[in-house]
Structure 1
Amino acid sequence: MYNDASLFPTNDNVSNVISAGVGVNARIKDLAEPVEVLYLNIGAKHGESITATIKTKTSVVCKYWDFTTSKWADDGCCLNETANPTQCLCNHLTNFALLVTSVQGPTDVVLSVISDVGCILSIIGLFVTILVHALHRESMKKRPAKILLNICSNLLIAYFIFVVGVSQTSNRTGCKVVAVLLHYFFLTTWCWMSVYSYDMYMSLVKVFRGSESKLLQRMAAFAYITPAAIVIITAGVAMGYVDQKQKSTLCGKVIDPTLSSSYIADHMCWLTGGSLYFGFLLPVAAMLMYNFFVFISIFRELNKNSSKVTTEHMRRTTKQTMTIAVTMTSLMGVTWVFGYLLVISTDVIYVTVFSWLFALSNTLQGFLIFLLTAVRRKNLRNVWTAPFKRLYSSTSSAAVSSMRKVSGRTASYSVSELTKYPNGEGDTAQTTTNV
């Protein structure tokens, strides 16, 4: 029994160490019955607790000292969540320790409210954008508008699922379903963004004149099938292989519920660890680089051969299309750069700053698309502003008509009075005449 961890030099919070071994060089491992280590008077409980103003995240981990690496390791050891007092189970003899780490911080209510408001604004903006494009017949005849509708539709579904289900962590099965759907629809949105860039390249650089319907079908197959394959492989490997492997080897059937899946995080229904890096951020990074290379190629080709853009209308349309594509890709790319930077550190100030940056850029994507398409472009702006103009016009006409009626009645009254009193206003006029 070691009362402190001075013989085990690390930065981990270790209060005492229990050692159990046989001989000097012998290591006993793969025990049929695990070693049970009870820790009395340990009030900490593994997991996250949130009150009205304080959020506390406590990590309670059973580990042992690995002399080969001079670090605390956890393979072959686990925390028995159901035991009281705190119990560690290990399938080998070694230097056992319980590492307890608690991090407290204020619950950022303002950030949560702003995220919800941003998501709602994006949902409304995307819905109006879809409706405006659907009602504008001239726009629906063009392939870029059809691609933009697919971007908005998938992003709208992703936002709705995010608002409704991202915090439903109590039901782990439902939480996994939410994470799978978010994973798929966010990837689908990115794939359609790449399709949007490719379509611009084919139209402005290659001047493609093939079958538009067949090209759109091939684009749709890529945008919907590729994310499905990535999600199936990522979820299958994480939940079907890694998680099952842990269940079959880690101290029998004793499993830490907050770490029961390598696919979803413990505090939200979203990806974590390798699933996040390889199943989402890596494909997004690849598509982001592809989009920017395409934009550079288009800019260079248009500057080199400006004769391809012959009319003022075509120049304006090309500029608008490029502005939408570059802005959307840049914002979505910066958003997930913030998302990556958010998970690489646990420093409170660092996490707070990047949480704000990620939340603001992520939740306002849909609203920005609305501003770029349904507000900035005059022909589309007229679609959704026309009902308000008609309402305002009818209200103004009714008010003018009412005023005219009142003026008419006033004028009629004045004429009748003048007829009744031709010399003035009654007695006063008569008095004046007598004088």
Structure 2
Amino acid sequence: MRGNASWTCGGDGEWIGLPDMSACKSIDASAWIDELDKSNATAGAILQEFTDNSTTTLAAGDVSEVLNLLDVAAKRHVRDIQNASDSEQSTELSLNYTKGITSTANYMLQEPKVWHGIPNSDRRESVSTLQAIVREAGIESAQQLKNDSQLFTFDALSVKIEQHPSSYYDAVSEEGRTLRHPKFEDATLKLPKGFQGEQEIASVTFMAFNNLHCVLNEKLPCVPDGKEVLGRTFQQQTNSPIMGAAVSNTSWQASPPDKPVVVTFPYIYGANVYNLTNLTCVFWDEEENDWSTEGCDLVTKDQKVVVCECDHLTNLAVIMDLNGVLSEEVLVITGWITVIGCSISIVCLTICVIVFELVKHIGNLSSSKYTIDIHLNLCWCLLIVEITMLAGLDSQDPTGCQCTAVLLHYFFLATFCWCAVEGCNMYLLLVSVFHTFTVSRRHYYLIGYGLPLILVCITAASTSGYGYRTQPFCWLESSNGAVWAFGVPLILILLMNSVILGLGLKAIIARPMKDYRTDSESSRPRDFTSRKSIVLLTLKLVTILGLTWVLGFSYLIAQTEALAIVFTTFNSLQGVFLLVFLVLTNDKIRKEMRRIILRLPPTDPYSSGNQRPTGTGSTGLDSGTFAVQIPQGVRINPRRSNELDYAACKSQLELEDLGRRRTGSRF
């Protein structure tokens, strides 16, 4: 190789793009150009001799030289055809020429990375030129055939040409009109019935490139290895073999337009390993030297192939974003973290469920009769999530994996909905002073379980089942936006709970300390401590559950291994956090569990010198005051405000036949 290379250095000291090696050459094509001008040999023969004798790998600067050679060969071939003695010789010349063109194109594409030394704009123009030369050679040869077909197959590309009467194409089945890529068995191009129009004889030229996508993807390796794209994102990369066709001497337009060409593309970088998003069906626009979406639509996709429909031919492909990939080592690490973390969380959440089942009927353990019930449902939902994650970790069955994804979607949503219920309950305890409305357990259950069910059903129906992916993880699909069926509710719940926490803190701070009730044995504000504990508990729950998925969405954006490990750790250990926050740090629950384990008798919360309080306040119906002795079975307003539950007092007094009413007291 000889010549000079240049590489531009940016102001930040970093190299810009790739080195420009377009002045570097390893072969001398001028001698072959001279032979095309002066030799008596045909253009096809000279091109085949050129490739047979070219053992040196092309350099970046040789690409333009060889394209110039092909241009001269095309002009020489015109003279060869003009000098042909008959149609048979003309056909033979055309076939030899097409073979020479295809062989030379194969030589140019043997090392795709060589093309990366050409500036991007020049490289794309060269790609357009090469495709046009191959196509024109194939079209000419196809028109020379008589009810026959020919196949030119090389390592880097294949060209199939055929010509038949229109009646032939009318009689064959769909399979007979299907053109298959010789290297990628799932890659097919199906011509619609009647594509030949009113022509009596129709010729078809089919071009299938094996590695032309490597030339266009300058930053990706030609053969996926899972390492060079590690932790990175590459936008709008060609992720399919490139193939196209021409009918007779045109690129063909659908007529009628409701009969498009159906093209099936397999992935080069598989969806079972890589996170593929923004899939787009395209064709190569040789005027713009770029991909264009005009006339092409994506019909369907799965974990192996993409199906497109186009109203024209030329060279077609699929472009998409390839997001960062985890190495095998990190996949093993995250897999073990999931197994160990989920196992520990399942044990911790089982303990939480047992504890809350034992103490949920003890009224004096919480500030609200619903608090324990809310915690119990929160733990149940997360327990099912952890079991599902552990059971579906190595699911290979697509149907089973989709079911796992649906269950995870539903119970993760249910977990956050119960977290929202926790916030609402806290709001009622701290901010709402008077009973302006009644909240029942049924309302909470509708929010906790009904709302997630609606969202899951909408997701499944709107995506026709494609909203749940099966590879590489059993979860919501990101390429069609289904992942936002979890992300949007999560964001809304976190925002709502943040607002509620702010209101709760404001309510505590705004209330004078003298207004809080104190213990009889100390001046410590018992109400203040209790309310502060409620806020802190809700804050902890929102933080740990919210932080986990903030890390999750950060990983989807940044695609780094460190975030993957941190997210997996937090996600699998959520059960441990709930055990710590809801049980181990709750003094009342610890004491009650100690009493249950030691089989001690129940204690009266007012037996340690605490007097059962009497209520004093305005009825709201007159200006007088009253004092009533609270019956044994009546609970103080669960918000621990100064007003009593008058209706409950009245009911209890009537049941005990204590129909005594104080002057000025009304119920």
- The TM-score, its normalising length taken from structure 1, stands at 0.67
For 1:6, the equivalent position in structure 2 comes to: 124
Alignment equivalent of 1:64, drawn from 283, 294, 313: 283
Q: Show the 5 A alignment for 1:352-367.
A: 352-367=561-576
Instruction: Label 1:233 to 1:158 Cα distance change in 2 as closer, same or farther (>3 A).
Output: same
Task: Name the counterpart of 2:410.
Answer: 184
Provide the rounded CA distance (Å) in 2 between the counterparts of 1:80 and 1:292.
39
Measured after TM superposition, the shift of residue 171 of structure 1 is: 1.8
Question: Are 2:313 and 1:93 aligned?
Answer: yes
Aligned counterparts of 2:301 and 2:371: Cα–Cα separation in 1: 55
Offset at residue 106 of structure 1 (A):
2.7
Shift of 1:122: 1.5
User: Aligned pair count?
Assistant: 353
User: Aligned residue for 1:396?
Assistant: none
Bigger RCO (CA 8 Å, 6+ sep):
1
Would you say the 8 A contact 2:423–2:501 is kept in 1? yes
1:24-74 CA-partner distances (Å, limit 9, x unpaired): 9976246858477999xx9x684547xxxxxx8999998532577933657
2:283 alignment partner, SS class? strand
- Uncovered stretches (5+) of structure 2, i.e. residues with no partner: 1-101, 110-114, 116-122, 128-215, 219-236, 519-524, 600-667
Deviations 1:211-257 (A, max 9, x none): 87x522212112211111111001111125xxxxxxxxxxxxxxxxx
Using the TM superposition, name which of 30-39 and 153-162 deviates more: 30-39
Q: Which amino acid aligns with 1:107?
A: E
Q: CA deviation at 1:20?
A: 3.5
Matches within 5 A, 1:24-423: 28-29=253-254, 32=259, 34=261, 46-48=270-272, 64-65=283-284, 70-71=290-291, 75=297, 92-97=312-317, 105-108=327-330, 109-136=332-359, 137-138=362-363, 139=365, 142-168=369-395, 170-209=396-435, 214-239=439-464, 261-273=466-478, 274-307=480-513, 309-311=516-518, 312-345=525-558, 350-383=559-592
- CA drift of 1:320 comes to 2.2
Cα distance in structure 1, aligned partners of 2:589 and 2:561:
39
Closer/same/farther in 2, CA of residues 21 and 353 from structure 1, 3 Å limit: same
Report the CA distance shift for 1:15/1:190 in structure 2 as closer, same or farther (over 3 A): closer
Match of 2:144 in 1: none
Aligned to 1:422: none
Distance of 2:428 and 2:398 partners within structure 1: 45
Give the 3 Å change call, closer, same or farther, for CA 92–262 of structure 1 in structure 2.
farther
The root-mean-square deviation of aligned C-alpha atoms, in Å, is 4.3
**Aligned-residue offset at 1:156:** 0.9
**Shift in alpha-carbon separation, 1:80–1:315, aligned structure 2, 3 A:** closer
Q: What stretches of structure 1 of length at least 5 have no aligned partner?
A: 50-55, 241-260, 391-435
- CA distance in 2 between partners of 1:196 and 1:269 (Å): 29
Contact 1:238 1:275 in 2 (8 A): no
Give the counterpart letter for 2:488 in structure 1.
L
CA 1:82–1:17 in 2, change beyond 3 Å: closer, same or farther?
Answer: closer
Q: Report SS of the residue matched to 1:6.
A: helix
Distance (whole Å) between structure 2 residues aligned to residue 80 and residue 367 of structure 1: 37
Distance 1:68 1:146, change over 3 A: farther
Structure with greater helix percent: 1
Give the letter aligned to residue 94 of structure 1: T
- Alpha carbons of structure 1 residues 360 and 382: separation in structure 2 relative to 1, 3 Å: same
Post-superposition shift, 1:295? 0.3
Query: Which one is further off, 308-317 or 101-110?
Result: 101-110
Give 1:77 deviation, angstroms: 8.6
- Equivalent position amino acid for 1:133 in 2: F
SS in 2 for 1:64: strand
Could you tell me whether the CA contact under 8 Å between 2:459 and 2:467 is conserved in 1?
no
State the Cα distance separating 1:325 from its structure 2 match: 0.8
2-structure distance, mates of 1:367, 1:14: 42
Q: 1:89 to 1:376 in 2, by over 3 A?
A: same
Letter aligned with residue 318 of structure 1? R
* Worse-matched range after superposition: 278-287 or 171-180: 171-180
- Measured after TM superposition, the shift of residue 300 of structure 1 is 1.0
SS state at 1:135 partner: helix
Instruction: Give the aligned residue type for 2:290.
Output: S
Match of 1:394 in 2: none
Distance 1:114 1:382, change over 3 A: farther
Cα–Cα, structure 1 residues 46 and 194, in superposed 2: closer, same or farther, change >3 Å?
closer
CA distance in 1, matches of 2:541, 2:492: 16
Structure of larger gyration radius: 2
Aligned equivalents of 2:432 and 2:325: distance in 1? 56
**1:328-368 deviations in whole A, cap 9, x for unaligned?**
101111111111122234xxxx4311111211221121111
> CA offsets, 1:158-207, max 9 Å, x none?
11111112431x22222222211111111111111111111111111113
Distance 2:240 2:568 in 1: 38
Counterpart amino acid of 1:130? V
Rounded to whole Å, the distance in 2 between the matches of 1:281 and 1:265 is: 19
- Would the alpha carbon gap of residues 262 and 201 (structure 1) be closer, same or farther in structure 2, given more than 3 Å must change? closer
| Code of the aligned partner of 2:574 | Q
What is the alpha-carbon distance in structure 2 between the residues aligned to residue 193 and residue 80 of structure 1? Answer: 35
Task: Quote how far apart the aligned CAs of 1:18 are.
Answer: 5.0
TM superposition shift of 1:275:
4.8
Structure 1 residues 275, 382: CA separation in 2 closer, same or farther (over 3 Å shift)? farther
SS at match of 1:71: strand
Q: Secondary structure at the match of 1:75?
A: strand
Q: Structure 1 residues 69 and 379, CA, compared in 2 at 3 Å: closer, same or farther?
A: farther
Q: Say if 2:463 and 2:482, in contact at 8 Å, map to a contact too.
A: no
